[in-house]
Amino acid sequence: MNWPHKDIIAVQDLTSAEIGLILDMASSFKEISRRDIKKVPTLRGKTVVLLFYEASTRTRLSFEIAAKRLSADTTALSASGSSFSKGETIMDAAYNVMAMSPDCIIIRYPYAGVPKKMAELLPCSVINAGDGYHEHPTQALLDMYSMKERFGRLEGLKVAIVGDIMHSRVARSNVYGLIKMGAQVVLVAPKTLLPPGVETWGADVMTEFDPVIPEVDAIMMLRVQKERLHERFYPDSREYSIFYGLNKRRVDMMKEGAVIMHPGPMNRGVEITYDAADSARSIILDQVENGVAIRMTLLYLSMGGSANVD
Amino acid sequence: MPEIVMSEQEITAILKDLADCLMEGIKTWNDVVFIGIRSGGVLVARSIVKILEQKTDMQIPLGTLDIALYRDDVSKRLFSPEVRSTDIPFSVDNKRVILVDDVINTGRSVRAAIDHILDFGRPKRIYFMVLFDRGGRELPIQPDFVGKEMSIPEEKIIKIEVAPDGIGIKDVIISGVKK
Amino acid sequence: MWIKGGTIFDPAGGTVQAGDIHIADGVISGVYPGGNNGKDGEIVDAQGLWVLPGLIDMHVHFRDPGYEYKEDIVSGSLAAAAGGVTTVVCMPNTDPVNDNPSVTRYIVEKARAKAAVRVLPAGALTKDLNGIELAEMGLMKAAGIVAVTDDGKTVENASMMRRAMEYAATFGLPVITHCQDKGLSAGGVMNESALSSRLGLAGIPSASEDIIISRDVLIAGYTGLPVHITHVSTRTGIDIIRQAKRDGIRVTCDVTPHHLLLTEDRVRGYDTKAKMYPPLRKEEDRRALIEGLTDGTVDCIATDHAPHAKDEKDLDFDLAPFGIIGLQTLLPAIMQVHRECGIDFMELLKRATVNPARILGIEGGVLTAGARADIVLFDPEVKWKFTEESILSKSKNSPFLGKEFKGRVVHTIVCGNSVYRI
């Protein structure tokens, strides 16, 4: 197949065949990261600009490493050091960056829709590194890759996503992707953290965590945004962690071979305890490693590489 | 219409000649490894290694190389390279590497393959062996061992066909017009 | 001046007839069904055109004083004229707020001197729209306001709303209420729905509008005072108003053309020209508004013309201000509703002429001898594309840009003077 996308904006925009291809190709890129010389010349001479208008260390680092392993030149611009705070609109910033002819812009932005708009208006590739509550496609793809790596398949898997579904772009992208790939998804959250219309997503929705645990192959815990949620969507961390936190007792209820995932950064002691995060079931660090491979794949595909299978 | 330019028998004969040349040129085999360039080169490498293992009565290591990420035309989308994995299950340090491809034309694939191998270590020497040399070089690269030289019009595609067993080479065809 | 050969719609009398109209001294001096031989003054050929009374838009924002870069009384009135609107009621959320007679006088005087159409100010219910202290309604009325409203905001305290309605009634001022529960709608930028979740945009639940509609309707019922609910957008809102009317509560309401023609689907693509309050709702809500027009629950159609500068609207969807312009597309939009929903044009015309005139207690919507000569000539068949170049407003924030309409205003007359002509 020929890769038809200039940009990677949303898992909603990808077909199951395209997702499958990304996951297949990622293994080849993962191998590069395990070499002594962790670099291939593929994107030599390409310029990748990272525009991060929201705090993020690991996603930015992951993209930067991915781009560098493909020999692209990277420049990162984060909100604090940029003119963002000086009243410049994001599209002004985008046109200014564009005037310097980058080949790819990776953008993280606190509001939904901006990467999509940028992709429509700019000639270069745009990769969404998370926009508001909309989507975080690279995270979902690396999550799916990690599950596929562990189970050999996605079809028929049962995955629980637990926590603040309402404000989670990671949950949304994962739901769209996993369901396209034939997995079954159960969303677990108090009703205050379930978004309107969640019943149309094709996932099961549960408000009780325990009954779900023995049923699923993977449990993905979402980060609770303490600062945003406290006192508004649930009473406090203590009650939240008792009803929706992953702890030793719940880990012991998981079925054999089932794994624990977390997109990070974790709030240890709130949505996940130490013994859960560090248990043998945890593939949280695999997720991080695979993130680089997935992002290399996407950089390669969106900047000229293709995947013509003869 | 695809035209068969070489039959299985002819190929077998050429491979045999190549093996003889290699036996003569290489002499000692304890530090020799083969690396085939995906996907045609892998077939050729596999066939030649099989012959040489019989002749030398030694196990000869064989790796495969995917050069998609080393091409110099990625962004031009001239080709649509699928990325498959490179599989070199041995160290190339201080080895004599015999790099194998089915056809040499511009020389750009070989250049990419050499770069790729150098990312894995520092071989003592790299030889290049090819089944067909169709000319048309764009880089100063020449093979050390050539099966057959053939002049094929630039617009034609030359391709080796896989035998029904999936291992050997059936025949060689030229066809169509280059993309 | 003569307007000859057109089809004359008189919503006051409910008549449609071919004929000529004679205008003298800013007043209609005679209507002649079947035609007349008169030749004095200018002759306007209205063959094939509809002759309508000038429209009354009871909800516009002219941003003057304070935000003249978005719109001012002159540019706003030109846009109105081009839309066949000869009377507008401009909302008080200017800077300074129209909460005292000096601001009212500024608007009235500037309008009298420079505006192309009749510009009638609405005053604030509360000082600085703060929801706490009553504004000087009596003095503003004396200076020329025709209604009071805190539009753009809801008076949060129900007791304050009751007092404001009682005080307004003291001066015979209609109260227009913008219904939005602050807590429920906090942070929202589009209709709350499965789509808002999918787009990752925070939602404004329909209940946040319905709750205040109910509250104000209940206050009106309790006090026996009238209240006008502006820009109703929800099915439940319409249901509440319909029931209230049956119960004899003195409630009236208006809807906007954009809520009649568009749904939340228009937000896909994050176009800020589809961002306004109340937000575009679901198809079932849109249908309920149409139903409300059909059965008489909806009294008026008003644009909520809300100009914003390009650089303001060019922000991210979350950050861009609420509001769109609407004056120039009002009549074509009404025409589209007429064609698509099969509602009698005369019935729709009443919602933008005699009905608002009645609610506001002003003259207008009449095409008989002795009436103000505010007249629109409308070509019901011509197709035209609404482009940025055709916009006379200072701001271009319309969701209808690029849309082809059937039906266009070709000539607008205010007090016997041509103020717009293609």
Gap between the Cα atoms of A58 and A64, Å rounded: 10
Q: How far is A95 from chain B (nearest CA, A)?
A: 23
Gap between the Cα atoms of C108 and C118, Å rounded: 9
Q: CB of A124 within 8 A of CB of A102?
A: yes
Residues of C in contact with A90 (CB under 8 A): 315-316
Using one digit for the tens of pLDDT, what is the confidence trace for A284-305? 999 999 999 999 999 999 987 5
- The bridge status of strand B32-37 relative to strand B96-104 is parallel
Contact A40 B81 (CB under 8 A): no
Phi and psi torsions of C123, nearest 5°: -95, 170
Catalytic residue, from C304, C311, C374, C379: name it.
C304
Write down the pLDDT at residue B80. Answer: 47
Gap between the Cα atoms of A10 and C391, Å rounded: 35
Mean pLDDT of A140-145: 98
Compare all CA atoms of chain B with the CA of A42 and give the residue at the minimum distance.
B69
Q: CB of B123 within 8 A of CB of B97?
A: yes
- The bridge status of strand C417-421 relative to strand C190-191 is unpaired
Chain centroid to Cα B9, Å, comes to 19
Q: CB of C98 within 8 A of CB of C128?
A: no
Contact B86 A28 (CB under 8 A): yes
Gap between the Cα atoms of C344 and C294, Å rounded: 9
The answer, for A225 touching chain C at a CB cutoff of 8 Å, is: no
Q: Compare CB distances from B85 to A28, A37, A304 and report the shortest one's residue.
A: A28
Compare all CA atoms of chain B with the CA of A29 and give the residue at the minimum distance.
B85
- Determine the 3-state secondary structure of C410 from DSSP: strand
AA letter at C17: Q
Q: Compare CB distances from C200 to A89, A134, A196 and report the shortest one's residue.
A: A134
Q: Within a 13 Å sphere around the CA of C50, how many CA atoms are in the beta-carbon half?
A: 23
Element (H, E) at B14: helix B8-26
Token pair for residue B116?
A: 């790729």
Bridge partners of B129, per DSSP, are B100, B145
Q: How far is B17 from chain A (nearest CA, A)?
A: 31
Look at residue A70 and tell me whether its pLDDT is greater than 60: yes
The answer, for A87 touching chain C at a CB cutoff of 8 Å, is: no
> For C54-360, which CATH class?
alpha beta
Contact A304 B84 (CB under 8 A): no
Gap between the Cα atoms of C8 and A246, Å rounded: 74
Identify the CA nearest to C191 among candidates C250, C254, C268: C268
Q: CB of A214 within 8 A of CB of A255?
A: yes
Using one digit for the tens of pLDDT, what is the confidence trace for C47-80? 999 999 999 999 999 999 999 999 999 999 999 9
Please count the residues of chain B: 179
| Helix ranges restricted to H, B58-150 | 108-118
Compare all CA atoms of chain C with the CA of A175 and give the residue at the minimum distance.
C198
Q: Which of A74-83, A197-206, B70-79 is most confident?
A: A197-206
Contact B83 A307 (CB under 8 A): yes
Q: CB of C330 within 8 A of CB of C281?
A: no
Q: How far is A30 from chain B (nearest CA, A)?
A: 9
| Helix ranges restricted to H, chain A | 16-33, 58-69, 90-98, 114-121, 137-151, 169-180, 226-229, 237-244, 248-253, 274-277, 284-302
| Helix ranges restricted to H, A245-283 | 248-253, 274-277
- Determine the 3-state secondary structure of C32 from DSSP: strand
Q: How far is A102 from chain B (nearest CA, A)?
A: 13
Q: Compare CB distances from A169 to C192, C200, C202 and report the shortest one's residue.
A: C200
Contact A113 C198 (CB under 8 A): no
Q: CB of C240 within 8 A of CB of C213?
A: yes
Using one digit for the tens of pLDDT, what is the confidence trace for B36-67? 998 788 888 988 898 888 888 889 999 998 88
Contact C199 A114 (CB under 8 A): no
Residues 6+ apart with CB under 8 A from A235: none
Write down the pLDDT at residue A310. Answer: 32
User: Into how many domains does chain B fold?
Assistant: 1
CA dihedral C27, C30, C31, C36 (to 10 degrees): -130
Using one digit for the tens of pLDDT, what is the confidence trace for A248-289? 999 999 999 999 999 988 988 899 999 999 999 999 999 999
Write down the pLDDT at residue B68. Answer: 83
Residues of C in contact with A113 (CB under 8 A): 199-201, 269-270, 316-317
Q: CB of C151 within 8 A of CB of C127?
A: no
Compare all CA atoms of chain A with the CA of C312 and give the residue at the minimum distance.
A89
Q: What does the longest C-alpha to C-alpha distance in chain C come to?
A: 65
Write down the pLDDT at residue B75. Answer: 54
Chains that touch C (3 or more CB pairs under 8 A): A
Compare all CA atoms of chain B with the CA of A310 and give the residue at the minimum distance.
B82
Write down the pLDDT at residue B177. Answer: 56
The answer, for C197 touching chain A at a CB cutoff of 8 Å, is: yes
Using one digit for the tens of pLDDT, what is the confidence trace for A26-59? 998 998 888 888 888 889 899 999 999 888 888 9
Q: How far is A37 from chain B (nearest CA, A)?
A: 6
Write down the pLDDT at residue B134. Answer: 87
Gap between the Cα atoms of C55 and C356, Å rounded: 9
Write down the pLDDT at residue C322. Answer: 97
Phi and psi torsions of B174, nearest 5°: -120, 145
Q: Compare CB distances from A35 to B66, B70, B120 and report the shortest one's residue.
A: B120
* E-state strands within chain B: 3-6, 32-37, 62-65, 96-104, 125-133, 145-149, 157-162, 169-175
Token pair for residue C343?
A: 């509602």
Write down the pLDDT at residue A87. Answer: 59
Write down the pLDDT at residue B89. Answer: 86
How many angstroms separate the Cα of C239 from the Cα of each of C259, C286, C341? 16, 13, 19
DSSP C313-380: HTS-TTTSPS-B--GGGHHHHHHHHHHHH---HHHHHHTTTHHHHHHHT---S--STTSB--EEEEEE
CA dihedral A84, A86, A91, A96 (to 10 degrees): -90
Identify the CA nearest to B167 among candidates B24, B19, B7, B49: B49
Gap between the Cα atoms of A245 and C191, Å rounded: 32
The residue among A306, A309, A310 with the most chain B CBs within 10 A of its CB, best to mutate, is: A306
**CB neighbour burial string for C69-99, b if at least 16 within 10 angstroms, e if fewer:** ebbbbbbbbbbbbbbbbbbbbbbbbbeebbb
Contact A117 C314 (CB under 8 A): no
The answer, for A112 touching chain C at a CB cutoff of 8 Å, is: yes
Could you tell me the pLDDT band of residue A162, with boundaries at 50, 70 and 90?
very high
Compare all CA atoms of chain C with the CA of A169 and give the residue at the minimum distance.
C200
Q: Where are the domains of chain C?
A: 2-50+371-421, 54-360
The answer, for B66 touching chain A at a CB cutoff of 8 Å, is: yes
Look at residue B130 and tell me whether its pLDDT is greater than 90: yes
Contact B83 A304 (CB under 8 A): no
Residues of A in contact with B69 (CB under 8 A): 28, 32, 40-42, 70, 300
Mean pLDDT of A183-191: 97
Residues of A in contact with C319 (CB under 8 A): 111
The answer to whether position B15 is within a domain reads no
**CB neighbour burial string for B17-47, b if at least 16 within 10 angstroms, e if fewer:** ebbeebeeebeebeebbbbbbbebbbbbbbb
Q: Compare CB distances from A135 to C200, C270, C319 and report the shortest one's residue.
A: C200
Identify the CA nearest to C164 among candidates C147, C181, C152: C147
The answer to whether position B137 is within a domain reads yes
DSSP classification of residue C196:
H
Write down the pLDDT at residue A203. Answer: 97
CATH number at residue B55: 3.40.50.2020
Q: CB of A26 within 8 A of CB of A299?
A: no
The answer, for A172 touching chain C at a CB cutoff of 8 Å, is: yes
Q: CB of B38 within 8 A of CB of B171?
A: no
Token pair for residue C77?
A: 């009135």
Write down the pLDDT at residue B79. Answer: 40
Element (H, E) at A233: none
Gap between the Cα atoms of B63 and B41, Å rounded: 11
Look at residue B179 and tell me whether its pLDDT is greater than 70: no
Q: Within a 13 Å sphere around the CA of A146, how many CA atoms are in the beta-carbon half?
A: 30
Write down the pLDDT at residue B78. Answer: 40
Look at residue A308 and tell me whether its pLDDT is greater than 70: no
**Domain spanning A137-284, CATH architecture:** 3-Layer(aba) Sandwich (3.40)
Compare all CA atoms of chain C with the CA of A12 and give the residue at the minimum distance.
C198
pLDDT along chain C (422 residues), means of 10: 95 94 95 88 94 98 96 97 97 97 97 97 97 96 97 96 97 98 95 96 97 98 97 98 98 98 96 96 98 97 97 89 97 96 95 97 93 96 96 96 96 96 92
Q: How far is C311 from chain A (nearest CA, A)?
A: 8
Contact C200 A200 (CB under 8 A): no
Residues of A in contact with C197 (CB under 8 A): 133, 172, 195-198
The CATH number of domain A11-136+288-302, selected from 2.60.40.150, 3.40.50.1370, 2.60.40.1110, 3.30.1490.20: 3.40.50.1370
Gap between the Cα atoms of C78 and A306, Å rounded: 55
Write down the pLDDT at residue A232. Answer: 80
Residues 6+ apart with CB under 8 A from B16: B51
Residues 6+ apart with CB under 8 A from A266: A221, A223, A272, A277, A284
Chains that touch B (3 or more CB pairs under 8 A): A
Could you tell me the pLDDT band of residue B126, with boundaries at 50, 70 and 90?
very high
How many angstroms separate the Cα of B153 from the Cα of each of A104, A216, B139, B141, B148? 38, 60, 18, 20, 16
Gap between the Cα atoms of A118 and C353, Å rounded: 44
Token pair for residue C313?
A: 């609207």
Determine C/B contact with 3+ CB pairs under 8 A as the test. Answer: no
- Residue C411 has a CB neighbour count (10 Å cut-off) of 22
Instruction: Scan for tokens 């108003």, then name that residue.
Output: C241
Write down the pLDDT at residue B84. Answer: 73
**Domain spanning C2-50+371-421, CATH architecture:** Roll (2.30)
Compare all CA atoms of chain C with the CA of A168 and give the residue at the minimum distance.
C200
Q: Compare CB distances from B119 to A35, A304, A309 and report the shortest one's residue.
A: A35
Chain centroid to Cα C307, Å, comes to 13
A62-76, A163-177, C28-42, C84-98, range with the lowest pLDDT:
C28-42
Gap between the Cα atoms of A209 and A188, Å rounded: 6
Contact A114 C316 (CB under 8 A): yes
Contact A29 B66 (CB under 8 A): no
Catalytic residue check, C314 = no
Write down the pLDDT at residue C74. Answer: 97
Q: CB of B35 within 8 A of CB of B97?
A: yes
CA dihedral C257, C263, C266, C271 (to 10 degrees): 60
Q: Compare CB distances from C193 to A12, A134, A196 and report the shortest one's residue.
A: A196
| Helix ranges restricted to H, C180-234 | 182-185, 194-199, 206-223
Write down the pLDDT at residue A1. Answer: 61
The answer, for A12 touching chain C at a CB cutoff of 8 Å, is: yes
Q: What is the ipTM of this complex?
A: 0.86
Question: Taking a contact as any Cβ pair under 8 Å apart, which residues of chain A between 21 and 40 contact chain B?
Answer: 25, 27-29, 31-32, 35-37, 39-40
Look at residue A83 and tell me whether its pLDDT is greater than 90: no
Using one digit for the tens of pLDDT, what is the confidence trace for B91-101? 899 999 999 99
Element (H, E) at B16: helix B8-26
The answer, for A136 touching chain C at a CB cutoff of 8 Å, is: no
